[in-house]
Amino acid sequence: MKSAVIVFPGSNCDRDAAVAIEGITGQTPAMIWHKETELPDGLDLIVAPGGFSYGDYLRCGAIAARSAIVPALKREADRGVAVIGVCNGFQVLCETGLLPGALLRNAGLNFVCRPEPLEIANANSRFTAAYQGRREVVFPIAHHDGNYVADEDTLDRLEGDGRVIFRYRDNPNGSARDIAGISNEMGNVLGLMPHPERAVDLLHGGDDGVGLFQSVLEAA
């Protein structure tokens, strides 16, 4: 499986993502600096990693979403390549318009950092099929701005179309309808605040994240 991880100034989960992908797929992802304008041909997966791109200046993910690499990312997403935005990457995908809604400051104002139980709200998605019907996973969360908002019509549409992929069991940030992760209409772009790439080895405290990358691998 051919994959790429986009690296923005201030990304800090890019290597975690690369190590997770390499461990699960056996192939090293290409690390793509944000100033590039092209992505490698024939990709099966592109990851927008977690971190604090541009120091979260202006709005989280706002400046990264206007990077030189983003038009190429949008092109690949439109072609159906799997795209995963984790944490800051989720914020970036919302800012690019690839995913609807926005992520605001956590309702409780605190930075939350803990293992988080999640419901797999759509077990048949491109990102969850390998869990084979399992209903719950635990991924770590670590964010200050994870409070998902969208207008009511958008939320209804997300729920109605099975585009809510993960839901918090114990909402840590005030997200509308306990949403932790959503997909685009085509189902090939996933954004989520929790970190599956930080749960791929029992030494991490759990390896529930493996199934997410395994799902993409099996669909590739």
Partner 1 sequence: MKAIVRIDLKQGVLDPQGQAVANALRGLGFDEVASARQGKLIELELTGETNVDSARARVEEMCRKLLANPVIERYHIDIVAVAPAE
Q: Which residues bind partner 1 (CB under 8 A)?
A: 58-59, 62-63, 66, 94-95, 100-102, 104-109, 147, 149-151, 174
For partner 1, the closer of residues 60 and 180 by Cβ is 60
Alpha carbon 140 to its chain's center: 13
Whether 144 is a known active-site residue: answer no
- Closest approach, Cβ 6 to partner 1, in A, equals 19
For partner 1, the closer of residues 66 and 79 by Cβ is 66
Active-site entry in 76, 95, 116, 197: 197
Active-site entry in 34, 143, 195, 204: 195
Active-site entry in 87, 94, 116, 204: 87
Whether 197 is a known active-site residue: answer yes
Half-sphere exposure (Cβ direction) of 220: Cα atoms closer than 13 Å? 18
For partner 1, the closer of residues 128 and 147 by Cβ is 147
Whether 195 is a known active-site residue: answer yes
Integer Cα distance of 198 and 50 in angstroms: 11
For partner 1, the closer of residues 102 and 123 by Cβ is 102
Residue 169: count of CB within 10 angstroms of its CB = 13
Max Cα-Cα span within the chain: 43
SS3 state of residue 62: coil
Nearest to 175 by CA among 115, 90, 93: 90
- Closest approach, Cβ 164 to partner 1, in A, equals 17
Integer Cα distance of 190 and 142 in angstroms: 18
Residue type, 29: P
SS3 state of residue 119: strand
Strand partners, 113: 142
- Closest approach, Cβ 105 to partner 1, in A, equals 5
Rounded to a whole number of angstroms, the distance between the first and last alpha carbons of the chain is 7
Backbone angles phi, psi at 138, to 5 degrees: -120, 120
- Closest approach, Cβ 45 to partner 1, in A, equals 27
- Closest approach, Cβ 71 to partner 1, in A, equals 14
For partner 1, the closer of residues 1 and 94 by Cβ is 94
Which residues participate in catalysis according to the annotation?
87, 195, 197
